[in-house]
Amino acid sequence: MKRITTLPMIFVLSALFAMQLPAQTFDEGNFRYTIVSESEKTVSIAQSEVHLSGNIEIPSAVKYNGVDYQVIGLSDFAFAYCSDITSASLPNGIESFGKYSFWECTSLKTVNIPSGVETIGPGSFWLCSKLQEVNLPANLKILEENLFYSCSSLRNIVIPDGVEEIRDFAFKDCSLLETDKMPSSLKSIGESAFFGTSITSAILPEGVLSVGPMAFSGCVNLSEIYIPATLSEFYGSALAGCEALESIEVSVDNKNYSSIDGVLFNKDQTELIIYPGKHGSKYEVPSSVVTVADGAFEKCASITEVVFNEGVETIGKRVFFGCNELKTVVLPSSVKSIGYGFLYDTNMMESFECRAVNPPVCDDNCFYGMFMESCKLKVPVQSVEDYSSSREWRKFNDIEGCVYTSLDNVSVTEPLIIAEDGCIILYNLVDGMYVNVYGLSGKLLDRVCATGNTVRLEPGEDVVIVEYGNYRLKVILD
């Protein structure tokens, strides 16, 4: 016969009751405290119903039932929604902030964070719209998500060496923030971490491994960025809407990324990842490219014309989203698929040329948000009916059939070039051949298809490179 051992009922009930007891709290003065450790006699500041305003001074210790307790932290939501607090003085014994400690303290201007603080919880200063100054302690290793989200008065902040992670939305919409020095210890930058700030430079130190989606998106003053050898993950949308960005510099030792004339590609240049917002108004995609990444040209305010060379097969999502000056796009016969939002919010489009005989597969809403009424779609003449009956392509009101002849093997003679009065005139051209004009920096200035044997160009620069077939000629204008 088996013996069944039972615990005394009073012991079981006592254990259950102890598991369910909330942390003990007490009120003293203007603050509510939660006992962290009875044995160590430590407490944290808890959320209180007392209305607080002006400057608040948190004591380093508090007496309760005749026992002295040391104040070592702020609990979650400790001062959340205290909209009349203007400043906060914290004692040196504080070691940590809980989540959302000062959330939506809309009058808070200054707060001193003691040097011994090692963790500051997510969203601690979210929506502190008047916060102007914060000193971050040297012991921090992580800037948590939403930490300074929408602190719209915050201008400068020193991110201490030792910080390894700047997490999602940490400084999002801190519209006046100009801090741009990244700590040498940094390893990752999260999604939208610096979205909409006023930083002008992002020199990422060696050791950074990843930069999340939209990390620097909307930083309209950002003019330079450096990608170190260690970076292995960089999202195309990270630099969307950076209107002042002229080029992206990449370490030659990086095994994943490369830069051609300031445009970001993968290492072997088969994928175009990011075209800088102020790089130039016209661009010819290199013939090595097979894939165009999501958001590659997103919110490039200055781009007006893009020509994709043969070889491109896959075009990602939102590639030209928000390119308000874009007027002309040419897709090659090799293109097979196009992601959603390809031409979303491109209000100035006039000519869209797709040379693929079979209409490329398009995601839903591929052309949503563009003015199709004013944009002509040019396709191979034998494919007009197919495009007109395709679910996405038939949304164009004006579809024109064109005859495309393969000119890859056409033999051309050297053109006659005359430069006068700031113009270039080329004679003896082959109908259908393209003439490209580049600045000395390598930027594409103009691209014209010869419709007769003569082309007239006004490049706008004194010295240019003219490319026609296998000929590349340096031309000096008067």
Ranges of each domain in the chain: 23-140, 292-380, 416-476
Strand partners, 271: 291
Q: Lowest mean pLDDT: which of 14-28, 156-170, 388-402, 406-420? A: 14-28
pLDDT digits (tens, 9 = 90+) for 88-140: 999 999 999 999 999 999 999 999 999 999 999 999 999 999 999 899 999 99
Residues in the chain: 478
pLDDT value of residue 450: 79
pLDDT digits (tens, 9 = 90+) for 30-47: 999 999 999 999 999 999
Measured between alpha carbons, how far is residue 368 from residues 274, 314, 341 in Å?
Answer: 22, 19, 6
Highest mean pLDDT: which range of 134-138, 415-419, 448-452: 134-138
pLDDT value of residue 430: 79
pLDDT over 60 (residue 7): no
pLDDT value of residue 405: 54
How far apart CA 208 and CA 233 sit, in angstroms, is 9
Residues 47-53: what's their mean pLDDT? 92
pLDDT value of residue 371: 77
pLDDT over 80 (residue 74): yes
How far apart CA 462 and CA 419 sit, in angstroms, is 10
pLDDT digits (tens, 9 = 90+) for 284-332: 999 899 999 999 999 998 899 999 998 999 999 999 999 999 999 999 9
**SS3 of residue 43 by DSSP:** strand
Nearest CA-CA partner of 409 in 444, 437, 374, 433: 433
Is residue 155 a contact partner of residue 132, using CB atoms and an 8 Å limit?
Answer: yes
Nearest CA-CA partner of 380 in 394, 399, 408, 407: 399
Is residue 342 a contact partner of residue 352, using CB atoms and an 8 Å limit?
Answer: no
* Helical spans, DSSP H, in 21-125: none
- The residue behind tokens 């939501």 is 77
- The residue behind tokens 């006039």 is 350
Beta strands (DSSP E) in 293-375 are 305-308, 314-315, 328-331, 337-338, 351-354, 361-362
Homologous superfamily, domain 23-140:
Ribonuclease Inhibitor (3.80.10.10)
pLDDT over 70 (residue 12): no
User: Binning pLDDT at 50, 70 and 90, where does residue 22 land?
Assistant: low
Query: In 10 A of CB 395, how many CB atoms?
Result: 14
Beta strands (DSSP E) in 152-223 are 165-166, 188-189, 201-203, 210-211
User: Binning pLDDT at 50, 70 and 90, where does residue 408 land?
Assistant: very low
Radius of gyration (Cα) for the chain, nearest Å?
A: 31
**Cβ-Cβ contacts under 8 Å for 469 (sequence gap 6 or more):** 410, 412, 430, 433
pLDDT over 60 (residue 1): no
Six token digits for residue 366? 């591929």
Is residue 93 a contact partner of residue 70, using CB atoms and an 8 Å limit?
Answer: yes
Six token digits for residue 139? 């012991």
